[in-house]
Structure formats: structure tokens, C-alpha cells
Copies of this chain bind each other. A is one copy, B any other.
Amino acid sequence: MADPIVDRLALIGIGLIGSSLARVVRQQGLARHIAVQSRRPETVARARELGLGDSYASDPADAARGADLVIVSVPVGASGTVAEAIAPALKPGAIVSDVGSVKTSVVRQMAPHIPDGVHFVPAHPVAGTEHSGPDAGFAELFRNRWTLLTPLPETDQAAVETVTRFWVGCGANVETMSPEHHDMVLAITSHVPHLIAYNIVGTAAHLEQVTQSEVMKFSAGGFRDFTRIAASDPTMWRDVFLHNRDAVLEMLARFSEDLTALQRAIRWGDGDMLFDLFTRTRAIRRGIIEAGQETEAPDFGRTPGAGKPDPAAR
């Protein structure tokens, strides 16, 4: 166990991300005191049952009071309200950070409320699952994943370093970029993929030619992977799309252009164009596996024995 990185940590919001932080901070001894906050009494009660923190509050100001590091883990549409609520309670020299999947909008919402003498270091751990709430978190969520920091040019360098050490303590790799670039990168690697997953599941649910029962039974041909993504939290994702509108629309336009070209290739029987694209896309997957961001097990290791050369003659 390392030395604590901060004395008092406040976790505002204790869902998948907040509770994963609570677990890894406890496991790695990254803070001496964890103050947990959630909006609804039932979530606070559940966090207490799970023993996620050292103190519990429903008012964000109560949790943030006296904290050295405050991490806001709520849907991005609520960031401004939360920043406003904690502002009066922040002590001088405190660091405020967040985990929101969108950064330009979060900076725009939160920065105006951050008092002088308090440091603001926006962050986004690129890690998650389709589940929500305090039960869904686990200490390993951030391990070997990337956390992106988007500090403003004027942000105190020591504060950025503290937040970096905090995330490294959680098992993550850390990289810094501008909020605008972050939002473009995430639009293509996360937001548009979620949008098209939600979309195809929606399309499949409303066909006259194919019943919902058929869609479910025969989903192992690819569809079920999309439904996992499309089972992600509606509030979180509504907020992501509303708050990263421009980058999402730009990437979506590119996706649609490319899809039109594919559609034309199918219509005209251009097998070479299809074969060529389908060959190039494999290189990206190899790169992701080499970058340590994916398992090599076929079908995500979902099928027993998958991929193990298993001499049949036994």
C-alpha cells in the first residue's frame, strides 16, 4: 500500500464510477478519509451498507467541506448545479475534478463556480460497463485503462500532478489534452458507437417483417453485442449527446457518408471494395490488442474453450 495521496477525498456521486473509485481508493490506501455523497437517500443508504466511505452525506456541500480533492461523478448535465452547490464549502487549495464523458461542456458548466484559490482539473477515465449504481462498481475498473485530463492552460501544475498521481494510484495511465480534442476523440471512439448501437437495437425492435422474439433468439450472429452497449444508462447517455452535440454530429456525418458508399458497393456488387475495407479494419483491432486495451479471446472469451486449439482426437 502506498502513502495516501490526499488526506480527505470527497466523492460527489457514488454510482458505477464513484463507487469504483471508492473501492480502489480504499484498496490502495490513496486517501485517509473518503466522504461519500449521493442525491437520493436510498443510494446513500446502499453506499453505507457496502461500506464504501468513512462518512456519508446527501448534501454535496457537506461532503466537499474540508476536502483536499473533490471528484464529481454525476451525469454531465448535472455538473454545473453540483459545482454551484459545493463552491461555498471548498477550502482554499482544494482540487476539484470530475469524471464526465464530455469535457468542453463540463468545463463551461463548472469553471465559473470554482472559487479563487481552488484548482480545477477536469478528468475522464475511459473505462466503464453498461451497469450503473453503487453495486456496479469494482476496484479494477480503471486498471490499465486511460484517464484523460483536460486542464486549462492556467491551471496550477502541482494540482495537475496530484490528480495524475491519484489516477496512477487507481491503476490508470494518464494523458493530457485539450477539452475540444478530447470531445472529438471520444465522439468517434465512444459516443457515435453508442449512438449506432442504440439505433440498431431501436430499428430491430420495430420491424414488421421480423418479430422481437426472433431478434432475441437469433441474436448470437452479432446483434447481441450491440444490445450490451445499448443497455447503458439512459440519463448518462442522453446528457452525453446533448453536451457533445457538435463533435457527435460531425463524426456522425462522416459515418453516414462512409455508410452510403458501402451501401452503393453492395447495390452494385462491388466485392473488391467490400473485401478491401473488411481487410483494412482488421489492422485496427490488432493495434488495440497490442495497445493492451482488449482481450484476444474470441467472442470475448464468452464461449467455453474458445480459441484453444483442442485436438479433437481425444
B185 pairs with A224, CB closer than 8 A: no
Stretch at the interface among A108-116, A158-166, A248-256: A248-256
Distance between Cα atoms of A198 and B214 in the complex (Å): 24
Distance between Cα atoms of A258 and B205 in the complex (Å): 12
Quick check: is A93 within 8 A (CB to CB) of the other chain?
Answer: no
A263 pairs with B242, CB closer than 8 A: no
Quick check: is A307 within 8 A (CB to CB) of the other chain?
Answer: yes
Quick check: is A228 within 8 A (CB to CB) of the other chain?
Answer: yes
A245 pairs with B227, CB closer than 8 A: no
Quick check: is A197 within 8 A (CB to CB) of the other chain?
Answer: yes
Distance between Cα atoms of A241 and B274 in the complex (Å): 8
Stretch at the interface among A2-10, A60-68, A78-86, A230-238: A230-238
Q: A126-B218, A231-B282, A312-B22 are in contact. Are A210 and B185 (CB under 8 A)?
A: yes
B138 pairs with A306, CB closer than 8 A: yes
Stretch at the interface among A37-45, A149-157, A188-196: A188-196
Quick check: is A57 within 8 A (CB to CB) of the other chain?
Answer: no
B50 pairs with A129, CB closer than 8 A: no
Q: How would residues 140 to 184 of chain A score, 1 for a CB under 8 Å from any chain B CB and 0 otherwise? A: 110001101000000000000000000000000001000001001
B293 pairs with A234, CB closer than 8 A: no
Q: A23-B312, A26-B313, A293-B217 are in contact. Are A202 and B303 (CB under 8 A)?
A: no
Distance between Cα atoms of A255 and B223 in the complex (Å): 13
A205 pairs with B269, CB closer than 8 A: no
Distance between Cα atoms of A200 and B225 in the complex (Å): 15
Q: Which of A146, A221, A251, A274 has the most CB of B within 10 A?
A: A221
Q: A229-B225, A311-B50 are in contact. Are A284 and B203 (CB under 8 A)?
A: no
Distance between Cα atoms of A196 and B98 in the complex (Å): 32
A214 pairs with B231, CB closer than 8 A: no
Distance between Cα atoms of A190 and B204 in the complex (Å): 11
Q: A129-B303, A285-B231, A310-B138 are in contact. Are A188 and B217 (CB under 8 A)?
A: no
Q: Which of B135, B139, B195, B220 contacts A146 (CB 8 A)?
A: B220
- A-B pairs with beta carbons under 8 Å apart, 28 shown: A126-B220, A128-B221, A129-B303, A136-B298, A139-B312, A146-B217, A146-B218, A175-B217, A185-B214, A189-B218, A193-B200, A193-B221, A198-B262, A199-B262, A200-B255, A212-B284, A216-B284, A217-B291, A224-B293, A225-B228, A227-B285, A228-B299, A230-B281, A237-B274, A242-B266, A242-B271, A249-B267, A256-B259
